[in-house]
Amino acid sequence: MASKREQIVSSVVDSIKAINSVKMGSVTREPAFRNEQEFYALARTHFPHVIVTSGNEAREDITMGSSSLRGSTLTIDLICFVKASDKSIDETLNNLVEAIEEKLDVDRSRDGNAMNTEVREIVMGQPIEHPYGSCTISVEVDYTFTRGVT
């Protein structure tokens, strides 16, 4: 069985894949490109392209002992790329951010594995060639786990 951390990240991926208010392209744990040339060669159907990465995590002991309970705040970064067509890059990014936040709010418990999930920060990416845009959405998930239990 996967760790709680992995179950939480998988739940985030599944939630984003289920977005239907924005036509989603690719939602993956790894990028579909290795360099700038491959990025610009991606088909329009790959956009929005969202790369989900489990990032930093702050942990603390809640109880002591051989099977101690630990608390954790996990940061999951959603690296988002869009290719604007009939809307501006900014509007396209804003629609994606709103769709992601609304979808993650549907189940803040991440299938019962977390106490809370919330979007904490949205950082716009550096300007790239028109009509592309990017941003990073940082999602914080609070959860508890028992040390030594997967």
| 97-107 residue pLDDT tens | 999 999 999 99
- Is the pLDDT score of 1 beyond 80? no
Any idea where the domains of the chain sit in the sequence?
4-146
| 32-62 residue pLDDT tens | 899 989 999 999 999 999 999 998 999 998 8
The angle that helices 4-17 and 89-106 make with each other, rounded to 10 degrees, is: 130
Q: What is the percent of the chain with per-residue pLDDT over 70, rounded to a whole number?
A: 97
CB of 140 within 8 A of CB of 75?
yes
Please name the residue ranges forming H helices in the chain: 4-17, 36-41, 89-106
The second-level CATH assignment, the architecture, of 4-146 is: 2-Layer Sandwich (3.30)
Could you tell me the two tokens for 107? Answer: 């189940």
pLDDT (0 to 100) of residue 64: 79
Mean pLDDT of 121-126: 95
Half-sphere exposure at residue 57, Cβ-oriented, CA atoms within 13 angstroms = 19
If pLDDT is split at 50, 70 and 90, which confidence band does 88 have? very high
- Is the pLDDT score of 120 beyond 70? yes
For the whole model, what pTM was predicted?
0.92
